[in-house]
Structure 1
Amino acid sequence: MSENISYLSGRKGLHENLFERISWMAETEDTANTEKIQELARDYLIGESTIHSTISFYDLLRPENKDKKAYVCNGSACMCSGTQPRVRSELKKNFRDEEIGEMTCLGRCHENGAFQYNGQNYSGIAIDNITQIIESKKTIQEKYASLASGTAILMQTPLTAEEFALQLRNLFTLNPEHVLDEIKKSDLRGRGGAGFPMGLKLESVRKAEGERKFIVCNADEGDPGAYSDRYLMEQQPLRVLLGMIIAAYISSADTGIIYIRAEYPESMETIEKSIRELEENSLLGNDILGSGFSFTLKLIKAKGAYVCGEETALLSSIEGQRPEVRVRPPFPARKGLFNMPTLVNSVETLANLPFIVEHGGSKFNSIGSSQSKGTKLISLDSFFNRPGVYEVEMGTPLATVVEQLGGGFKENVKALHIGGPLGGLVPVSDISSLQISFESFAEKGILLGHGSIVSIPEDFPMMGYIKHLFRFTVHESCGKCFPCRLGSVRGLELLQRATDGDYRIDRELFTDLLDTMQQGSLCMLGGGLPLPVKNALQYFDSELRDYFD
């Protein structure tokens, strides 16, 4: 990360965002057009290498993907379901091989068979109608369960613009310091994975000095198996945007950015429409409702990179830099977007704020377990009898989620991968020992993360699943640190040799590789991968031992 490039990118403001300019150029021009790249470099006073490195990083900006017409989901849930070979086969009847690409998780884990065509996502039986879809360009509405068990904080009736305005009027009667105290009293912890207390983050941004401050909603939910952020953005968009305004009011920020992953076109469409609705009702902009508080919102559409879910890589992406993970400190709360104080929080975290402002921090704090307050959204994949997104109170037994809400499994499942590719791998026999809470998962040495659950069926080879995790990390690594960049490649090579022939992996060597990645990686991509791999080696030794010496 270059501080100078951050300043230079910010001098034109978000209305001439460098990332969007680079994206537009890569999508509409020949990416080897030296003249266009030189023109853009001169305009922003940056080196041509910065633009080249940015274009080459994102899946959807690379020249080899420019002429792709359809993309097959290669996420963990779709892979385990076994639906994707047929999806690819059916697409080949309509497109040439070189016109078909891959995307990592389209958030259709509830029914699988996911693919994207013409900027729209499809899943389930849609592939059976691919010819009609191509001819008519029609979309097919998906269906999945969405239910709150216990207190509904995030799954209340969606806000209308009128209700949004009433909540804003109430907010503006309160002192920002008082609102911050209520959030601290609530003990709300980040729902994106780390579980950091949000009140402390907000307080840091509020106290930080800077010409201006930013609120960034991290909607780059890329964990295969997780589609709870999709639910919120598409079914509760005004609740998410109100949460951003509340955070801005507390921290004196004047601008908000919601950065949505490329694989969620429907979320982009809904959020874009909601922002327009707020602007038309004078609920965004200067002096909102005569309060003296001004705030604008901007949607930025990502271009395909899992690592942008890491907050510092996300900020570099918005700035138009190659989205590599930054060394911390300094943390974004002090030096974030364009080197200004920035709050970065997930969709689900921000969506909790309207409830806290309306009902008070003590009410929120009264829900949940001793160290995990409020509720959590859980995503269940297609192996459940009732797949969907469920809101449960923190402290709810995992067995309750699996057996009562999800209705159990449709077929035999041997393990659950919880919390995304960097989360823990739990044998089905152990689910009775876990609760949906940060502390319960931490006691087992695993992460709750986004609350996604990917089911691994009995007949799916655990060695194949481990290789999938390494392959994912190889593809998604930003390359900034050696342990992740090199370790993921070496690990995949070892596993491939073991499955291709009679080579047996030295277990001590493999464990050293995992430990190096875990301890030496800059972020949780390289640092988190070893966790599910070690879980697999621990719990499924009888299945894996033939590959190891």
Structure 2
Amino acid sequence: MSKNLSQLARRKSVEHTLFQELVLSEQEQTPQGKAKLAKAFLVGEAIVQGTASFYDFIEGDNANKQAYVCNGSSCLCAGSQDKVVDKLSEHFGKGNVGHVTCLGRCAQNSAFQIQGNNFSADDIDNLASIAKDPKTQSKEHYHVACTLDEPILTAEIDNVAKYYQLFTELVNNYSVDQLLTKVSDSGLRGRGGAGFPTGFKWRSCLEAQGGEKYIVCNADEGDAGAFSDRYLLEQRPHAVLFGMLMAGYLSGAQTGILYIRDEYPDAIVNTEKAINEFVALALPMPNNWQFRFKIIRGAGAYICGEETALLRSIEGQRPVVSVRPPFPTQSGLFGCPTVVNNVETFGSIHFILDTEHTGEQSCGAKKYLALGNGKSTGSKLISLDSAFVKPGIYEVAMGTPLAEVIALAGGFSKSIKALHIGGPLGGVVPVSKIDELSVDFESFAEAGFLLGHASVIGIPTEFSMIDYMAHLFEFTAAESCGKCYPCQIGSTRGQEMVENAISGKQAIDETLLNDLLETMQLGSLCALGGGVPLPIQNILQYFSAEISPFLNSSNTKVQEA
């Protein structure tokens, strides 16, 4: 069925998608509008309704609210949101306030959104004036620092025309094979968390049979605590566009799609502006090859950060995870060969392929390879939340000791007992383990953690770890696409088990919990259900004394703790 729907969606192309009609037009969200869309896209009305009902911002209890409060892990740990909820509810009425996870304002917290505009820090104290004019400038501030001799992702782009001259120089002086070899030789691996070799992925798409191919930038940065993608799209959008342009040329694609989450309005505006600047350059293209960019605006679904769910979302289907193989490079968007990469991955390409000022013997690819530990190369952006004295975005070489990054940020701003690194599915690292870790995929994996997107949230000493476990299960249960039972049912049962223990209703059967976590790890189709057991297991391992009062192998009521 999904293959047929993909082909039907292909008729309209990315310029006219069912999903964007639903997102951008309130009229199309009415029963009459949905019936009209079903007829236009040659699908049943149930398909349109099924798609619309999946997203937080289209239908459901959380749609069309006057204000939204961030309920992400960072704001939760900061303890800032009770005040925000109270003030928003007082002003708009409790029924008019929804929630969102997360707004990427983790450096300041107290995050909320009004009419598509984001706010944080002390903005809540000026709610009356903001409500009158939601376009009021937010007081957001975060640090941006780089420890490299030559910045890669944080480098300033002063002259846009000159920046894109590199593309013309490369296509005129190197073959596709030579340029793909440079990308592979750099050791660049996907920065979205999976760490898959970028050069291999692009070459796979090039070699795939298909007259139509696509490049998709996964900018659905939904990991709580992560705001590096937002930084790049707001401050360095041309670095991302250049990477997508090169990916298109090297894989044979002529369309680049940026799927940007609705929670990042400034990223959408600034990227659209950058696209217009690129078009105005009218770069000469080789052999009548052309490349166009298209922004797809998300609608509040964390699972769309998973590449196959993201592709189904663009097509206008319910964004559920697809079984692989086939992989997207063989059969992706509309059933065509597709490259899907993260924002930061594309942002690294200009440096890797740049030969200006360096010469062939010390080109960007070799410089990039020289950074890191040989397996994890280049630089990495790290998002540090308000638990640090100087929260913000830090660009460091792969392999940099984690303790060095924390020192660079001035240390902790409060008493911290653990760091949650890599988003909701990342590991919970006790402070005692910090000195053993370095910023690379291997170090974290060997220690039983996950670098992921490299978001870092500080969990305060006084914050209850059993409450944090409940938060993680609740998040997974709410965001599961529902396709596989280990994730959908497993996360719900996990949430019930933990909440029953917290309330004193029934202790957690430790054997049953371990069986549940193993089933989720082994049986889930994607990293959502398969990943959440990691932080839960870390908490059980390193904070056993705190959790043990809630565990009981005989499955009796919890003893008062």
Q: TM-score, normalised by structure 1?
A: 0.97
1:395 aligns with 2:394: no
Verify: 1:293 aligned to 2:292, yes or no.
no
- Structure 2 residue aligned with 1:346: 342
| Matching residue of 1:108 | 105
Distance (Å, rounded) in 1 between the aligned partners of 2:519 and 2:192: 25
Cα drift, residue 142 of structure 1: 1.5
CA–CA distance in 1 between the matches of 2:154 and 2:549?
47
Shift of 1:406: 1.4
Query: Are the aligned partners of 1:193 and 1:450 in contact in 2 as well (CA < 8 Å)?
Result: yes
Give the match's secondary structure for 1:459: coil
Amino acid at match of 2:350: P
Which of 371, 376, 380 does residue 376 from structure 1 map onto?
380
Q: Could you tell me whether the CA contact under 8 Å between 1:259 and 1:302 is conserved in 2?
A: yes
- What residue is the counterpart of 1:144 in the other structure? 142
Partner Cα separation in structure 2 for residue 30 and residue 109 of structure 1: 32
Using the alignment, how far apart are the partners of 1:177 and 1:297 within structure 2? 24
TM-score between both structures, scaled by the size of structure 2: 0.95
In structure 1, C-alpha distance between the alignment counterparts of 2:63 and 2:524, rounded to whole Å: 32
Residue type of the partner of 2:335?
N
Q: Deviations over 1:330-358 (max 9, x none)?
A: 00000000000000000001111111110
1:161 aligns with 2:165: no
Output the CA distance in 2 between the equivalents of 1:356 and 1:101. 43
What is the CA deviation profile of residues 114-156 of structure 1, one whole-angstrom value per residue up to 9, with x for unaligned ones?
0001211000000011111122331224111011112411111
In the alignment, the residues of structure 2 paired with residue 170 and residue 199 of structure 1 have an alpha-carbon distance, to the nearest angstrom, of 20
Give me the whole-angstrom Cα distance separating, in 1, the residues matched to 2:52 and 2:187: 40
For 2:372 and 2:28, the matched residues in 1 are separated by 52
Name which of 385, 408, 412 aligns with 2:411: 408
Q: SS of the residue aligned with 2:390?
A: coil
Equivalent residue for 1:124? 121
Change (3 A) 1:486 1:179: same
Residue 47 (1) aligns with residue 44 (2):
yes
Where do 5+ consecutive residues of structure 1 fail to align? Answer: none
Q: Which residue of 2 aligns with 1:36?
A: 33
What's the CA shift string for 1:195-230, capped at 9, x where partnerless?
010111001001001121100000001100000001
Matched residue type, 1:386: K
Deviations, residues 494-541 of structure 1 (Å, cap 9, x unaligned): 111111125211100010000000110000000000000000000000
Tell me if structure 2 keeps the 8 A contact 1:56–1:62: yes
Per-residue deviation, 1:24: 3.4
* CA distance in 2: counterparts of 1:30 and 1:172, whole angstroms: 45
| Structure-to-structure mapping, 1:7-26, within 5 angstroms | 7-25=7-25
Instruction: Name the CA distance, whole Å, in 1 between partners of 2:29 and 2:19.
Output: 17
Contact 2:218 2:260 survives alignment (8 Å): yes
Q: Is the 8 A contact 1:159 1:236 kept in 2?
A: no
Establish whether residue 190 from structure 1 lines up as the match of residue 190 from structure 2. Answer: yes
AA aligned to 1:319 is E
Structure 2 matches for 1:419-434, cutoff 5 A?
419-434=422-437
1:96 aligns to what?
93
Tell me, yes or no, if structure 1 residue 523 matches structure 2 residue 544. Answer: no
C-alpha distance in structure 2 between counterparts of 1:530 and 1:548, whole Å:
17
Per-residue CA deviation, residues 8-45 of structure 1 (Å, 9 max, x unaligned), is 001111111221123234x33553x1x33222112111
Asked if structure 2 preserves the Cα contact closer than 8 Å seen for 1:333 and 1:341, the reply is yes
Cα distance in 2 between the residues matched to 1:470 and 1:202: 35
1:180 aligns with 2:180: yes
Query: Over the residues paired in the alignment, what is the CA RMSD in angstroms?
Result: 1.3
- Tell me the equivalent position of 1:328: 324
CA separation of 1:357 and 1:109: change in aligned 2, threshold 3 A: same
Taking structure 1 as reference, are residues 29 and 15 closer, same or farther at Cα in structure 2, changes over 3 Å only? closer
The DSSP-based 3-state class of the residue aligned with 2:419 is strand
Are positions 1:503 and 2:506 aligned together? yes
Instruction: Give 1:364 deviation, angstroms.
Output: 1.1
Query: How many angstroms apart in 2 are the aligned matches of 1:159 and 1:544?
Result: 53
Identity %: 50
- Offset, 1:293: 2.4
Letter in 2 for 1:375: S
CA distance in 2, matches of 1:275, 1:183: 24
**Structure 2 counterpart SS, 1:15:** coil
Higher mean C-alpha deviation, range 90-99 or range 58-67 = 58-67
Q: Distance in 2 between matches of 1:3 and 1:64?
A: 31
With over 3 angstroms needed to count, the CA separation of the structure-2 counterparts of 1:491 and 1:65, relative to structure 1, is closer
Contact 2:227 2:383 survives alignment (8 Å): yes
Superposed counterparts of 1:51-70, under 5 Å: 51-70=48-67
SS at match of 2:15: helix
Q: What is the CA-CA distance between 1:292 and the residue it aligns to? A: 2.9
**What letter matches 1:11 in structure 2?**
R
Displacement of 1:100: 0.4
Deviation at 1:48, TM superposition (A): 1.5
Please tell me the residue identity of whatever aligns with 1:309.
G
Residue of structure 1 equivalent to 2:232 = 232
The residue aligned with 2:246 is 246
Code of the aligned partner of 1:304: G
Q: Distance in 2 between matches of 1:101 and 1:6?
A: 32
Aligned to 1:316: 312
Tell me: CA distance 1:490–1:116, structure 2 relative to 1, closer, same or farther (3 Å).
Answer: same
Aligned residues: 541
In 2: Cα distance, 1:353 partner to 1:67 partner: 39
1:526-541 paired onto structure 2 within 5 Å? 526-541=529-544
State the Cα deviation string for residues 431-474 of structure 1 (Å, max 9, x = none). 00000011101101221111000110000000010100001001
**Cα distance in 2 for residues equivalent to 1:462 and 1:474:** 18
1:360 aligned to which of 364, 367, 380: 364
5 Å matches for 1:464-475? 464-475=467-478
Supply the distance in 1 between the matched residues of 2:499 and 2:418 (Cα, whole angstroms). Answer: 22
Amino acid at match of 2:314: I
**Inter-partner Cα distance in structure 2 for 1:502 and 1:103:** 30
Q: Which stretch of structure 1 is more off in the superposition, 435-444 or 37-46?
A: 37-46
